[in-house]
Chain A
């Protein structure tokens, strides 16, 4: 079963002035099946639909038409509890600005998804995941004591702590220098290879596309180009 399957997914936003949603769609008829362990880079100019696609893929938003299937479940068929369960078990999020909670320590940030889901052995699992991103020694620090790269590694650990099948990253290295960005990209690569997670990454950077299995270029909400640079077929 594919981690994520989108069928003719279209998203229109209501016009802010009159609430009319009949204008040009933010995403138009997107169809693709994302395979387990596949690392997909979404590229394109600002406003091309990358973030909209990520929101639909993360069940944070619903398509105006078409279907989004996450781990075999149709998102539009789920209520709030079902969507929450889906996010707890199947999806991990990584943000450009890290989005760590400043009032929690590093390890507490990482274990948070497990705690929200009521999972057991949260602390041990969080520490393991921190070791995995080579941040184990920073477990008890507060987040304001970390550098940008360290924060993003913690964010990746948090996104992966519950072993999601789908990892959604929105400009994950947008706020990082090249060297630190490469470390973060390597972690995402490992997540796909070692965990078998499907990684869907919205990006502007060439470094990100260089490691991707699939590159989807969007323009005005439609797929302009799709390529598989690492494919040997």
Chain B
């Protein structure tokens, strides 16, 4: 009990007397925690909890059978011969568009006579005669149609009409709105043009055989035709999730930046508490307070901030997640897989994490100042001047430690990823931030020394006093500068990274997108699904007088090493003559493209090469319909269209493996002198009635950049929060600085300073702090940008892009930050000018 009293008197009471600064510190930690929780909750809802919308109506399967290009339906007959009590549920999946609402919805074909969940779809007592109705469909309750309605859907390149036979509610409501359409398997095969193939077969293994799963696998594999594989159920989801892992990890790390900035501010707050109460602690130590208890008091202060901040952060995180989930879902849909975000909910687990984050980070940040409090001897508690002097002396030692951390961080950049994650890259980032923070006191001193003589003559006495005050309060000003510099650095590095990426993508599109028009099926596509078009469409266009030539392209998804990838084939001769596809340095584009159509040769995208460690000259076994095909990789090309990694071959070589005459994309090059508008008009006229999307080159690029910018919108939001936390901390810390230096400020009034001069002094302090932070932050930002571009990004996503400095963007952002820093001085300056000099001087 007496410890609680001591805590109240030494820690809580002074904090309560200084409510604005306490509130600011609390707000900083709250915001830091909330951002981390928000990103995790939103990420979980948008992708983490995600089971693709396609996974509606999954039973209790544990294995599945699949093949690139589909599984022949007679495989079911072979499986039926197995002397095992297994159940096989065949399935066809296709994304279609509801013509009325425009929404992309999954169309799922299952065997409605035999499927494990037939009862849920048809109703337990349904008569099977209902299946005799043509195009009968059962729809999810959120699609908004009733039994008896007609439902027009865009499937691939045409419209089909379904007849709603029933509406069902999915059992797992936590998965979000259910808009799926379920049809009987033959109906799906027909309208999705699968012919006699099915997409996959779910295998339900009874519990009695669960222990012998590997034997079951072997038995199944033995009856499967070549090219068809048995794999873990949901491995598509697992593969997508694995691929999205890097995306989510990077977001998590970015969201942690605000928390790191918050940690600086906790350090500052506890540090200020210790400095202010040195005399008090000295007296308490003299009266018998142990070293451990003195430390404990200040750790308890941090823990209290962490606990309250963590709790508030958890709740605020839930609110922020609601806002972020749509943005994240849009990115997941654009880049990874079609999915519908699940509802955001804050469970006890996440709440416990937010408390742990708040307390953990606060305690960590308070360790050093708390240790210092424990080390205070009564004789030391005499004057602040000496303490600040000690910090100055330690600046050299700190700088050495900082340089060592930076050196270690740099060395970490050379290390490979761990389990596909750039852990050493993240560590390098953290070490560079810490190292730079340790360099800051030395830099402030150096700056002061360098400007010592000139600052007064150029900026006036107020600037000189501000500069001296910064070095005089080096301990806290360097922490503040460190916090703001970290936020600025992350903003600058992400700005440079995104700017470089954007510029590289623009240049890449210039090289890659040479055709005038691009055509694809109107049904919804996503990075994991490629709606088909009738091959005759390309023939119809090719003969138009406006068209010079067309390139027919088909993409199919496949899995390799547990990761999703795509295989595409088109006219490689056109690539040679028309495109400007770029290969990695040292690879000769012309000879590669000349050789490509001459045999079982392929080229792979850079992300594919990095993810699977496949380089030019390596053999690559492609799982194609009809069995695996051994190919040789001729080269690695730059590609920024998809993170999943692509393999490309010539259609005349590989087309034979895909007997159905379908295409996924057609690019159209117009004859010289034909305008894009005329060309579009001619093609649209020829394709009237077909459900296809025709896009002009320019519009395609604009759409690509729109998706790019949308992808990084959340990143900018995270940066904004980190900056906000830092600037808010700056305001709080400046108020503390004013309160602690009220004697000096009052003295200046005695010596003839006007209120304007005192105000200017505070603004100069903020300005100098902002200047140092921006300069250090920019330098650190450049270093971090190199790590982001050449280590983290390359190891996470496999892309290389050219370093590009978005000068105007950085200048604009930094000017804004600088203005915000200056604005943060308004309240402290007001406080400073309202001090009563007589009271302050006599109180001292």
Contact = CB atoms under 8 A, between A and B. Distances in A.
A87 B752 contact: yes
B838 interface: yes
A113 B472 contact: no
A116 B472 contact: no
Contact of A115 (B461, B750, B841): B461
B751 A80 contact: no
A102 B456 CA distance: 18
A87 B461 CA distance: 17
Interface in B383-404: 385-386, 388-389
Interface stretch (A91-99, A174-182, A211-219): A91-99
Interface string A110-133: 001101110000000000000000
Nearest to B747: A99
Nearest to B750: A93
Nearest to A60: B838
Interface in B745-775: 747-755, 757
Given A95-B841, A101-B744, A113 B389 contact: no
Contacts of B339: none
B757 A116 contact: yes
A49 interface: no
B748 A58 contact: no
Contacts of A102: 385, 388, 472
B84 to A, nearest CB: 85
Contact of A116 (B386, B753, B841): B753
B468 interface: yes
A103 B472 contact: yes
Nearest to A143: B385
Contact of B747 (A80, A81, A101, A108): A101
A84 B469 contact: no
Given A103-B469, A115-B456, A158 B751 contact: yes
Contacts of A116: 461, 748, 751-754, 757
B844 A113 contact: no
A112 B751 contact: yes
B207 interface: no
Given A99-B743, A99-B747, A99-B841, A81 B385 contact: no
Interface string B285-303: 0000000000000000000
B471 interface: yes
A173 B841 CA distance: 17
Contacts of B837: 60
Contact of B754 (A81, A97, A108): A81
B17 interface: no
B752 A84 contact: yes
B750 A87 contact: yes
Nearest to B833: A80
Contact of A97 (B389, B461, B744, B844): B844
Contacts of A88: 752
A51 interface: yes
Interface residues of B, number: 29
Contacts of B472: 102-103
Contacts of B834: none
B5 interface: no
A94 B386 CA distance: 24
Contacts of B757: 116
B755 A113 contact: no
Contacts of A97: 844
B706 interface: no
A84 B388 CA distance: 31
Contact of B461 (A60, A81, A112): A112
Contacts of B750: 58, 60, 87, 93, 99
Nearest to B389: A144
B752 A144 contact: no
B842 interface: yes
Interface string B363-397: 00000000000000000000001101100000000
A134 interface: no
Contacts of B744: 101
Nearest to B754: A84
Contacts of A84: 752-755
A95 B837 CA distance: 13
A113 B841 contact: no
A101 B472 CA distance: 10
A83 B749 CA distance: 10
Contacts of A113: 751-752
Given A51-B842, A55-B838, A144 B747 contact: no
Contacts of B752: 84, 87-88, 113, 116-117, 162
A187 interface: no
A55 B837 CA distance: 10
A19 B658 CA distance: 94
Nearest to B751: A113
Interface in B787-844: 837-838, 841-842, 844
A61 interface: yes
B458 to A, nearest CB: 13
B38 to A, nearest CB: 42
B758 to A, nearest CB: 10
Nearest to B752: A88
Contacts of B389: 144
A55 B471 CA distance: 32
Q: Which of B385, B750, B752, B841 has the most CB of A within 10 A?
A: B752
B838 A144 contact: no
A158 B750 CA distance: 11
Contacts of B465: 101, 103-104
A81 B464 CA distance: 22
Given A51-B842, A99-B743, A144 B751 contact: no
A99 B747 CA distance: 7
A13 B213 CA distance: 91
Contacts of A95: 841
22 contacts: A51-B842, A55-B838, A58-B750, A60-B750, A60-B838, A84-B755, A87-B749, A87-B751, A88-B752, A99-B747, A101-B747, A102-B385, A102-B472, A103-B465, A104-B465, A108-B464, A112-B461, A112-B748, A113-B751, A116-B751, A116-B753, A116-B754
6 cross-chain pairs, A with B, having the tightest CB-CB distances, nearest first = A103-B472, A88-B752, A115-B461, A103-B468, A84-B754, A87-B752
Interface of A: 51, 55, 58, 60-61, 80-81, 84, 87-88, 93, 95, 97, 99, 101-104, 108, 112-113, 115-117, 144, 158, 162
Given A112-B748, A117-B752, 13 more contacts: A99-B743, A99-B750, A101-B468, A102-B472, A103-B468, A108-B464, A113-B752, A116-B461, A116-B751, A116-B753, A116-B757, A144-B386, A162-B752
